[in-house]
A and B are shown apart, each in its own frame.
Chain A
Amino acid sequence: MQLDARIPSGPIQDKWDKHRFELKLVNPANKRKYRILVVGTGLAGASAAATLGELGYDVDCFCIQDSPRRAHSIAAQGGINAAKNYQNDGDSVYRLFYDTVKGGDFRAREANVYRLAQVSVNIIDQCVAQGVPFAREYGGMLDNRSFGGAQVSRTFYARGQTGQQLLLGAYSALNRMIDAGKVAMHTRTEMLDVVLVDGHARGIITRCLVTGNIKRWAGDAVVLCTGGYGNVFFLSTNAKSCNVTAAYRCYKRGAGFGNPCFTQIHPTCIPVTGGYQSKLTLMSESLRNDGRVWVPRNPTESLKDPREVLESDRYYFLEERYPSFGNLVPRDVASRAAKKVCDDGLGVARAEVDGRRNAVYLDFSDALTRLGHPTIADRYGNLFDIYERITGESPYTVPMRIYPAVHYTMGGLWVDYNLMSTIPGLHVLGEANFSDHGANRLGASALMQGLADGYFVIPYTIGGYLTTQHRGPVSADHPAFTQAEDESMARTQKLLALQGTTPVDELHRRLGKIMWDYCGMGRDRKGLEQALQLIPELREQFWKDAKVPGSGSELNPWLEQAGRLADFLEFGELMCRDALAREESCGGHFREEHQTPEGEAVRNDDDFAHAAVWEYRGEGELPVRHKEELTFEYVKLTTRSYK
């Protein structure tokens, strides 16, 4: 497997400009001769499909929901970063770049991150022009707030619904191109495979989720924007349909998978209440701007009404351990700190899970006193409402209870500077790629990356592929399509033949528990080796004992789930292998063996300043781990400290 990142030469601030100039252009009249297949309609997919359509390409766009507007980007709450420096507080492209590389614990590619920071400013302009109603100050200018991992206010927001408003903006741009006849939209359609002709990605196989019809689509390039794989844990903040299938099938066809073990555990989610729990709900990180995180110092007070715990008996563990960033330390640091106090027996959840009360308080009483109810309601009203609906308690009167949950996956298909995977023609955008967040993503950076990739990167770089590497037209009658379609059909039949006794969700829950216990917030060799035994056993049980009801020629959500779980059951193993091979603690990857006596992560730059890229070698074969060495010319490798 060749890993050429194709990073342009020259000073970092000039790379993107230089590269854009050097990329060959597709003649405007020729663009309509190319068909681009865009899979997924989240921020990355919708913005890419819309922009490619505007440029004149013919686009087919696919999503599994009943409308492109429902992709899970919609659920992002807090905000989107941009180096506008509207607050005059010392922000710059360079600072956003620096913060993001540092926040990612020095496991991201500098050139990509710098470009991300550069185009961040264009994103805000674009969204405002589309009519995205960002929060404003009374003078009519855009408002900003601060977010974890940064000491400037660079986060633009739309109440607690930033993702929704940005996605509706991208959806409207997409609609405009559908209206113009440049994009054909295919909803309730799931990608089952990618088709390679002469080693290039030239099409996909899909299943219509309403009729069960399996279909071939030929094109000139494939743009995969299918999101992250957090649902491998069963419980996560992802939507129920989020899955790894599209990315995993690409991996099995030869796309390298980068850093699969880098998962982000978000510190502020609503704790688990029982075994029937189907998902976890995030409470935006922005809450940590005004909320203070604490637990009672004395375990005997864990079930006491928090309002009656004396100030002196409260352990504000983030403020005490990290005085300069306090409650605004990055997500990985905050999550681990919460886990530690709960492991030490100080947790405050009402329900016990495995003998622990996994929750800490997020308390707004100081902010309510300082700023008043209306200000707090304006900033967080809808979040407080969500919390109250789920828990039955109002954060205006009782501190929230929160606990970390799986939220985002920094790992994904490996891509070069052009966002192209190791399969020529297969481009990967947004959360589905491994590109910009290293080992930990800072808050408000996912929206930024999805839109940067879709609006401002792929529209240029895809032209480079089409003009230099692309090889002529291909029809869907090519034998490679027949073969891939046959395989997809056979696989669907194999799933439908599963008539055992165990519902798919039950098996998924078991996989989730293995992943959370052994490949979650803290990992060690023994546990990972254990998981590498348990997962194949569970996989065997799935193929023996799962029960898939219904047929393949109708709407069958259980067949969809079974197909996705089958892939998670293989992918989980890859995550554990990656976690086992990475003998260091960095970002969201915390190896218990590698920590200081105070419990802080210890990175190993001598041996692991690289992205791990896994190559599939066939059924029953061990995957091969390749490395993309990372060089840090601009941000000095230091121990990440938020103290």
Chain B
Amino acid sequence: MKIRLKVWRQRGPKDTGGFKSYELSVSEDMSFLEMFDVLNEKLIREGKDPVAFDHDCREGICGMCSMVINGVAHGPRPATTTCQLHMRSFKDGDEIIVEPWRARAFPIIKDLVVDRSAFDVIQRAGGYVSVRTGAAPDANALPIGKDTADIAFDFAACIGCGACVAACPNASAMLFVGAKVAHLALLPQGQVERTQRVLRMVDAMDHAGFGGCTNHGECEAVCPKEIKVDAISLLNRELARAAIVSG
């Protein structure tokens, strides 16, 4: 099949950037990133500048890949990262527009590559249980109901790709932050630091320049791991609880 690509090209953080068009023949069994590999090999052979994009595991778990495809973060398939999207999701003759994540807190480094270090900064502000190596009790000392463990797991499944931010009109990171806060607030191990954690993480989120949530739900719609906006409800509830508990 033949496709027409319109790709965002930007030489560096200070360049204004713009779209460039490319025509390409592809197989429907190719992944979306393999399609970019083919494009880049072609550009390199022609002596042109290939397109920089982030990618690594190419199996939907590392969270590195990050493309807005036809206006949707990670493209048209639900619960699917860019690297797991295949060309069979498109038709012969389609025009496909590819852009980077766009958010003030995620500055563009080059072409489709953005700087997501703000996510790490938030995680460092308490996204952990303070347990020193070697200080842990026997793993079965503390039973956790399967239902609770399963819900905690659903939130823990976040891959930190940032699609939620890219999709949100406010560039809010509340789904991302809510997922970690909810994961640890639901488990007994997370209780001791529960109050501090949510206060510090939300503070870090605000400082990083992410917006607030106004209930669009776009984040849930694009999340490749299907994290529900319940994470945001839980985050708000945890925040309210912390405000009361900490006076």
Q: Which residue on chain B has the smallest CB distance to residue A242?
A: B56
How far, in angstroms, from A558 to B51 measured CA to CA in the complex?
10
How far, in angstroms, from A47 to B133 measured CA to CA in the complex?
9
Is A538 interfacial (CB-CB < 8 Å)?
Answer: no
How far, in angstroms, from A54 to B132 measured CA to CA in the complex?
7
Is B244 interfacial (CB-CB < 8 Å)?
Answer: no
Known: A125-B138, A140-B145, A558-B50. A70 touches B63 (CB 8 A): yes
Is A292 interfacial (CB-CB < 8 Å)?
Answer: no
Nearest chain B CB to A348's CB is how many angstroms away? 17
When the two chains form the complex, which single residue of B44, B149, B187 contacts A503, counting CB atoms closer than 8 Å?
Answer: B44
How far, in angstroms, from A506 to B119 measured CA to CA in the complex?
35
Nearest chain B CB to A126's CB is how many angstroms away? 5
Is B125 interfacial (CB-CB < 8 Å)?
Answer: yes
Nearest chain B CB to A215's CB is how many angstroms away? 18
Kindly supply a per-residue 1/0 record for chain A positions 278-295, scoring 1 wherever the CB is within 8 Å of any chain B CB and 0 otherwise. Answer: 110110000000000000
When the two chains form the complex, which single residue of A51, A75, A142 contacts B61, counting CB atoms closer than 8 Å?
Answer: A75
Is A93 interfacial (CB-CB < 8 Å)?
Answer: no
Q: Is the CB of B58 within 8 A of A279?
A: yes
Stretch at the interface among A164-172, A408-416, A429-437: A164-172
Is B126 interfacial (CB-CB < 8 Å)?
Answer: yes
Is A375 interfacial (CB-CB < 8 Å)?
Answer: no
Is B14 interfacial (CB-CB < 8 Å)?
Answer: no
Is A179 interfacial (CB-CB < 8 Å)?
Answer: yes
A-B contact count (CB 8 A): 217
How far, in angstroms, from A131 to B115 measured CA to CA in the complex?
28
Residues of B within 8 A of A135 (CB): 149
Q: Which residue on chain B has the smallest CB distance to residue A66?
A: B116
Is B109 interfacial (CB-CB < 8 Å)?
Answer: yes
Stretch at the interface among B31-39, B92-100, B167-175, B211-219: B31-39
Q: Is the CB of A129 within 8 A of B129?
A: yes
Is B29 interfacial (CB-CB < 8 Å)?
Answer: yes
Is A108 interfacial (CB-CB < 8 Å)?
Answer: no
Total interface residues on A, using CB and 8 Å? Answer: 83
How far, in angstroms, from A47 to B145 measured CA to CA in the complex?
28
Q: Is the CB of B59 within 8 A of A274?
A: no
When the two chains form the complex, which single residue of B44, B50, B116, B133 contacts A455, counting CB atoms closer than 8 Å?
Answer: B133
When the two chains form the complex, which single residue of B79, B133, B190 contacts A126, counting CB atoms closer than 8 Å?
Answer: B133
Nearest chain B CB to A176's CB is how many angstroms away? 4
Q: Is the CB of B146 within 8 A of A138?
A: yes
Nearest chain B CB to A514's CB is how many angstroms away? 20
When the two chains form the complex, which single residue of A140, A175, A547 contacts B144, counting CB atoms closer than 8 Å?
Answer: A140
Q: Is the CB of A501 within 8 A of B45?
A: yes
Is A137 interfacial (CB-CB < 8 Å)?
Answer: yes
Residues of A within 8 A of B245 (CB): none
Residues of A within 8 A of B47 (CB): 549
Is A124 interfacial (CB-CB < 8 Å)?
Answer: yes
Is B68 interfacial (CB-CB < 8 Å)?
Answer: no
Q: Is the CB of A239 within 8 A of B58?
A: yes
Q: Is the CB of B189 within 8 A of A129?
A: yes
Nearest chain B CB to A402's CB is how many angstroms away? 15
Residues of B within 8 A of A122 (CB): 134, 136
Is A133 interfacial (CB-CB < 8 Å)?
Answer: yes
Residues of A within 8 A of B110 (CB): 554-555
Q: Is the CB of B113 within 8 A of A131?
A: no
Nearest chain A CB to B87's CB is how many angstroms away? 10
How far, in angstroms, from A84 to B79 measured CA to CA in the complex?
35
When the two chains form the complex, which single residue of A141, A164, A168, A281 contacts B140, counting CB atoms closer than 8 Å?
Answer: A141
Question: Which residues in window 188-202 of A have CB below 8 A to B?
Answer: none
How far, in angstroms, from A556 to B137 measured CA to CA in the complex?
47
Residues of A within 8 A of B131 (CB): 126, 129-130, 173
Known: A75-B61, A549-B44. A173 touches B50 (CB 8 A): no
Is B152 interfacial (CB-CB < 8 Å)?
Answer: yes
Q: Which residue on chain A has the smallest CB distance to residue B62?
A: A70
Question: Which residues in window 133-159 of B have CB below 8 A to A?
Answer: 133-140, 142-146, 149, 152-153, 156-157, 159
When the two chains form the complex, which single residue of B45, B55, B57, B120 contacts A72, counting CB atoms closer than 8 Å?
Answer: B57
Q: Is the CB of A276 within 8 A of B137?
A: no
Q: Is the CB of A70 within 8 A of B56?
A: yes
Stretch at the interface among A302-310, A385-393, A489-497, A624-632: A385-393
Question: Which residues in window 152-201 of B have CB below 8 A to A?
Answer: 152-153, 156-157, 159-160, 183-184, 187, 189-190
Q: Is the CB of B133 within 8 A of A241?
A: no
Is A50 interfacial (CB-CB < 8 Å)?
Answer: yes
How far, in angstroms, from A84 to B140 measured CA to CA in the complex?
10
Kindly supply a per-residue 1/0 record for chain A positions 594-622, scoring 1 wherever the CB is within 8 Å of any chain B CB and 0 otherwise. Answer: 00000000000000000000000000000
Residues of B within 8 A of A70 (CB): 56-57, 62-64, 160
Is B206 interfacial (CB-CB < 8 Å)?
Answer: no
Q: Is the CB of B56 within 8 A of A385?
A: no
Known: A125-B138, A385-B79, A555-B52. A141 touches B59 (CB 8 A): no
Q: Which residue on chain A has the smallest CB distance to residue B157?
A: A161
Is A398 interfacial (CB-CB < 8 Å)?
Answer: no
Kindly supply a per-residue 1/0 record for chain A positions 17-56, scoring 1 wherever the CB is within 8 Å of any chain B CB and 0 otherwise. Answer: 0000000000000000000000000000001001100100
Q: Which residue on chain A has the smallest CB distance to residue B84?
A: A389
How far, in angstroms, from A70 to B52 measured CA to CA in the complex?
18
Q: Is the CB of A173 within 8 A of B156?
A: no
Q: Is the CB of A557 within 8 A of B52?
A: yes
Known: A131-B184, A389-B84, A555-B110. A274 touches B30 (CB 8 A): yes
Q: Is the CB of B59 within 8 A of A75?
A: yes
Q: Is the CB of B140 within 8 A of A179?
A: no
Can you spell out 21 A-B residue pairs with CB atoms less than 8 angstroms apart? A47-B133, A66-B117, A69-B123, A69-B160, A70-B160, A74-B57, A75-B62, A122-B134, A126-B131, A126-B133, A131-B183, A133-B187, A142-B139, A175-B124, A187-B117, A239-B56, A239-B58, A273-B27, A276-B34, A501-B45, A503-B44
- Chain B residues near A (Cβ < 8 Å): 11-12, 27, 29-31, 33-34, 37-38, 40-41, 44-45, 47, 49-50, 52, 54-64, 77, 79-80, 84-86, 88, 109-110, 113, 115-117, 119-120, 123-140, 142-146, 149, 152-153, 156-157, 159-160, 183-184, 187, 189-190
- Chain A residues near B (Cβ < 8 Å): 47, 50-51, 54, 65-70, 72, 74-75, 84, 86, 122, 124-131, 133-142, 158-159, 161, 163-165, 168, 171-173, 175-176, 178-179, 185, 187, 210, 237, 239-241, 273-274, 276-279, 281-282, 385-386, 389-390, 392, 455-456, 459, 501, 503, 505-506, 547, 549-550, 554-558
Q: Which 6 A-B pairs give the minimum distances between C-beta atoms?
A: A140-B143, A129-B136, A172-B128, A125-B136, A133-B153, A128-B139
